[in-house]
Structure 1
């Protein structure tokens, strides 16, 4: 029984080691490039989520504004995913698809990050800004 458990965990162990050992600066094969693109996408998503939480925290006294943000973010995610599916559709089914798709998601996510950073820089009294300043 212990042998089955270890065999079941083996792929997880190798996956964890592969993430730790990947050298994105010198990626020379498609699998590594795809993995690196996925890691960059995850990093951009993490930054976006951190900023999103900061904005929702500032909107805690404004439930209507928070509701609008949630709706806008859901719509933006749907747009991002649809846009990147379209953008990568020319290579759908190919080994480069994950790279093209992830790069698109990363690029659009970074643009959204910049928008959120702008929202977080709002000054008190700026009527054109939906997020209250600190």
Structure 2
């Protein structure tokens, strides 16, 4: 997740990109950062709620970790699909 996010941020911060308007990239970066912060808060709340099924039990930590992994995989896939359309070179590595 961090690697993909870093690649996207680096691409959006490029000062010279003849294929994409700098103002568009600035706006995309601003929205990405806002979205990522909101997603992290949502993930933590959602996984805390999901793991409450095992509240106080030995499986609570496992459920929390599984939820985070699952949500992270979904987030990576969503970011990849969205940004590979605009920046196909992100998908090359």
Q: Distance in 1 between matches of 2:56 and 2:30?
A: 38
Tell me if 1:81 matches 2:34: no
- Counterpart pick for 2:58 among 95, 100, 105: 95
Taking structure 1 as the reference length, the TM-score comes to 0.54
Instruction: Provide structure 1 residue ranges, at least 5 long, that are not aligned to the other structure.
Output: 1-47, 123-130
From the CA coordinates, give the structure whose radius of gyration is larger: 1
Instruction: Determine which structure has the larger helix proportion and give its number.
Output: 2
Instruction: Provide structure 2 residue ranges, at least 5 long, that are not aligned to the other structure.
Output: 14-21
Alpha-carbon RMSD: 1.4
The alpha carbon displacement at 1:119 in A equals: 2.7
The alpha carbon displacement at 1:120 in A equals: 3.7
Tell me if 1:113 matches 2:66: no
The alpha carbon displacement at 1:94 in A equals: 1.2
Spell out, residue by residue over 1:32-63, the C-alpha distance to the aligned partner (whole angstroms, 9 max, x if none): xxxxxxxxxxxxxxxx1110011111111422
